């Protein structure tokens, strides 16, 4: 993906002196943070090994490693920002191994899959230089890192001494087909887009209010599906209920709209804010929108149909229920669909053309919250 780069330092930075200097500065500061974690945890191995009071240690250390032919330093860039690095050495234990000495991800860039991507880079390089085993050490108290390595199929050494400060992990490659780097980058980028949409629109909160699907859980299963089926290019698809994957449509539409609008920050902000404030607009609590109740009482086109809907709406409020599938139900649902376009500030049919499933479920969520607000129940027929 063009937005994620993993570059070897300094080999892939030499064409730009400023970028090289910036990368060096990042590595120095990041290595300091990497060791700072171990120092604060009072890991004796690190405290005794380094003279941390020497401010030039990190400068000398990065400078020394960058000049060694047997040492590899890779920096991950996301949207032109350095987000993490990994350092490993070939022949770390014997001639068939590489040894990972450092892996660090910026705090704000964690839980985005970048660490997995850097480990994939190590395995890719190991394959290219014909090394079959990747070794690394991880502090026993670093539970998140341990979970990461075990998730990536690294196995804890059975001969590890219990008194040591760390666990030794290794992964045997033995010529297996390595995970394709670009494919991993694609999946990580796609998942980031989906998570960003869910977080910024707060859609899960509103879906939960109407007992709708949990989109984070749906996204987990969706990405399992596309990985299992080796899908690496976005294309139009529709998931049907027969295969218990209908909710995948919501994630697929989110991914599609994010890919379409990823370069349009202004439009994305309108989309995020529109979803976030949509229900408030229907309830009349988000200015300047006066709410669905006002629109039903004061229709824009005051024709016979509008007056009929007004009468049926007032009757529904008096009797405290509305019938699913009735003309009033369809009228209010349609108004809710139009509402999400208006609150987002998009042209007519933008939602139905780009995210029809998502706009439909949001219309249902909006109607559900509206009916709850005015204490209007739902019946399947007049006979209930």
Identify the pLDDT of residue 177.
43
- Banded pLDDT at 370 (limits 50, 70, 90): very high
**Partners of 105 in beta bridges:** 84
Average pLDDT score over residue span 229-258 = 87
Per the confidence metrics, is the pTM higher than 0.85? no
Chain length of the chain? 384
Chain center to CA of 320: 41
Distance CA(92)–CA(361), nearest Å, equals: 54
Which run of H or E residues covers position 89?
strand 81-90
Identify the pLDDT of residue 46.
62
Bridge-based pairing state of the strands 81-90 and 321-323: unpaired
Identify the pLDDT of residue 210.
86
Per 3-state DSSP, the chain is made up of helix, strand and coil in percentages (nearest 5) of 55, 15, 30
Mean pLDDT of the chain: 86
Identify the pLDDT of residue 51.
53
Contacts 24+ apart (CB under 8 A), 208-215: 209/279, 209/365, 209/368, 209/369, 210/364, 210/365, 210/368, 210/369, 212/361, 212/364, 212/365, 213/247, 213/250, 215/250, 215/251, 215/254
- Banded pLDDT at 158 (limits 50, 70, 90): confident
- Banded pLDDT at 15 (limits 50, 70, 90): low
Average pLDDT score over residue span 91-106 = 87
Average pLDDT score over residue span 237-259 = 87
Q: Tens of pLDDT along 62-97? A: 999 999 999 999 999 988 889 999 999 997 677 889
CB 227 within 8 A of CB 331: no
Does residue 38 register a pLDDT over 90? no
Identify the pLDDT of residue 67.
92
Does residue 353 register a pLDDT over 70? yes
Does residue 178 register a pLDDT over 50? no
Two structure tokens written together for 245:
């994957």
Percentage of the chain exceeding pLDDT 90: 52
Does residue 317 register a pLDDT over 90? yes
């Amino acid at each position: 993906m063009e937005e994620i780069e993993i570059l070897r330092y300094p080999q892939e930075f030499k064409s730009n002196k400023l970028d090289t200097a910036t990368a060096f500065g990042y590595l120095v500061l990041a290595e300091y943070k990497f060791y700072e974690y171990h120092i604060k945890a009072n890991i004796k191995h690190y405290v005794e090994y380094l003279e941390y009071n020497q401010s030039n240690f990190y400068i000398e250390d990065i400078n020394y490693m960058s000049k060694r032919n047997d040492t590899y330093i890779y920096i991950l860039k996301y949207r032109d920002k350095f987000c993490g690095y990994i350092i490993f050495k070939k022949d770390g234990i014997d001639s068939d191994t590489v040894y990972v000495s450092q892996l660090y991800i910026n705090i704000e860039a964690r839980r985005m899959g970048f660490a997995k991507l850097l480990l994939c880079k190590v395995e890719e390089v190991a394959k290219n230089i014909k090394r079959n085993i990747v070794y690394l050490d991880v502090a026993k108290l670093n539970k998140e890192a341990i979970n990461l390595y075990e998730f990536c199929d690294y196995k804890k050494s059975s001969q590890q001494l219990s008194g040591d400060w760390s666990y030794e992990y290794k992964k045997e490659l033995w010529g297996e087909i390595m995970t394709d780097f670009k494919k991993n980058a694609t999946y990580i980028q796609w998942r980031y887009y989906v998570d960003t949409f869910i977080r910024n629109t707060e859609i899960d909160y509103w879906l939960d209010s109407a007992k709708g699907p949990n989109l984070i859980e749906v996204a987990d299963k969706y990405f399992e599906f596309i990985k299992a089926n080796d899908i690496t290019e976005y294309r139009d698809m529709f998931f049907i209920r027969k295969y218990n994957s209908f909710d995948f449509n919501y994630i697929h539409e989110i991914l599609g709209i994010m890919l379409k609008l990823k370069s349009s920050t202004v439009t994305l902000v309108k989309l995020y804010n529109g979803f976030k404030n949509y229900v408030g607009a229907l309830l009349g609590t988000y200015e300047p929108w006066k709410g669905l109740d006002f629109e039903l009482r004061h229709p824009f086109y005051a024709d016979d149909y509008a007056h009929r809907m007004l009468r049926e709406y007032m009757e529904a409020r008096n009797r405290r229920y509305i019938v699913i599938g009735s003309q009033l139900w369809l009228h209010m649902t349609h108004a809710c669909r139009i509402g999400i376009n208006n609150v987002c500030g998009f042209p007519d049919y933008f939602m139905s053309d780009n995210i029809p499933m998502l706009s439909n479920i949001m219309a249902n969520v909006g109607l559900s919250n509206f009916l709850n607000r005015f204490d209007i129940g739902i019946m399947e027929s007049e006979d209930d």
